[in-house]
Amino acid sequence: MRFSFTPEQEEFRTGLRRALDARSPTKEVRRLMATETGFEREGWQKLNQELGLTAIHIPEAYGGQGFGYAELAIVLEEAGRGLLCAPFLSTVLATTAILNAGTEEQKRALLPAIADGTTTATLAFSEDDGRNDAAGVATVANHSGGTYRLDGIKSFVLDGQTADLIVVLARRPGSSGEDGLSFFTVSGDTPGLERRGLKTMDETRKLARLEFNAVEARLLGEAEAASAPFARTMQQAAVLLANEMVGGADRLREDALAYSKMRMQFGRAIASFQTTKNKAADMLVDVELAKSAAYYAAAALDEGDDDMPAIASLAKACAAEAYLQTAIHAVQMHGGIGFTWDNDTHLWFKRAKSSEILFGDANQHRELMMQHWKHYKGTGDG
């Protein structure tokens, strides 16, 4: 397993950062986050087609570029660094679910339009009470006459109010736990589907509440066989979000350090004060450790590591705490102004707070990690 990026990957990162710096400065982030949709479709399609963002990890057979999760993690890290306002993470999550659960015919039908940026997509799995585990799924899929119809509510859906295609996790009526789960695809304009944007602290990431009232849906993959694909998708989601988070944390660290070198107090830069040095050192250690965990997890996805459940949870927990703590230090180093509307630091602070709980907080992922190790050792393999 590699623990460093290749020269080609570093070159890819450099070009991507240059493009996102030009297309997603904080002035543009502020403009887009103030809109109802959070992005402009024409601008996103043009950027996506130029850089091939959503096509990165889609196999070439389905119109993608066929790269691995290491390359996708680089894109997520750079997107997090620039607070890219676009339905990128949501579309990537829906894509992974289709790749994990879909049939060959469904992949050929759905993925090319996602790869070329024509279709935006999202994954709806969290219930109205916030539960995002398989046992907590309450949305039901009624099957009659060869047609599936969904009833229930999905909440906290990334870009759910604008997605063209929605991948929905639902269960057979009367089933419980991990039994009876299936993935379905629903078009965003299907009759009976009500979509409402949620008011959130982090305006750079739009969330929605989706209400399904006998909404006609198409089965994705095999019926009542979504438990394993869903678990795999959530592991991938945790790893991808962890990489996005370390990108934002590193940007905060760099900006805070640059400000402390420029800000003068008592006749010298505040970077020379010991308390500032301590914070800068803590930030560096936290971010680098989180990067190591996130990069390792991305490489583990490509390698198909058997311990992926624990590795993914470790990466998410580490990145969540590092991002939020770095954001706190950054605000303090800016001296109060960091949390004002005129300063950009608060934008990353709010993203850090929202990402901390997205797909489960650090405590939940530590519990999942320990459950995996307990099961692993209990089988006699450890």
Q: What pLDDT score does 62 carry?
A: 95
Mean pLDDT, to the nearest integer, of 56-78? 94
More confident residue, 30 or 382: 30
Residue range 149-160: average pLDDT?
95
Q: Is 270's pLDDT higher than 90? A: no
Q: Does residue 187 or residue 276 have the better pLDDT?
A: 187
pLDDT confidence of 378, banded at 50, 70, 90? low
> What's the rounded mean pLDDT across residues 64-77?
94
Burial class (CB in 10 A: 0-12, 13-18, 19+), 97: buried
Distance from chain centroid for Cα 382: 31
The rounded distance, in Å, linking the Cα atoms of 354 and 348 is: 10
Contact 110, 123 (CB under 8 A): no
Asked if 163 contacts 41 with a C-beta cutoff of 8 angstroms, the reply is no
Q: Please answer whether residues 121 and 163 qualify as being in contact, where contact means their C-beta atoms are separated by less than 8 angstroms.
A: yes
**What's the DSSP call for residue 127?**
B
Mean pLDDT across 269-295 = 88
119: left (phi over 0), alpha (psi -120 to 50) or beta: beta
Rounded to 5 degrees, φ, ψ at 181 are -90, 140
User: Length of the chain in residues, anyone?
Assistant: 382
Res. 168: pLDDT tops 70:
yes
Interval 275-289 mean pLDDT: 90
217-233 residues labelled b (16+ CB within 10 A) or e (exposed): bebbbebeebbebbbbb
Of the candidates 93, 8, 98, 70, which has an alpha carbon nearest to the alpha carbon of residue 297?
Answer: 70
Mean pLDDT of 115-144: 92
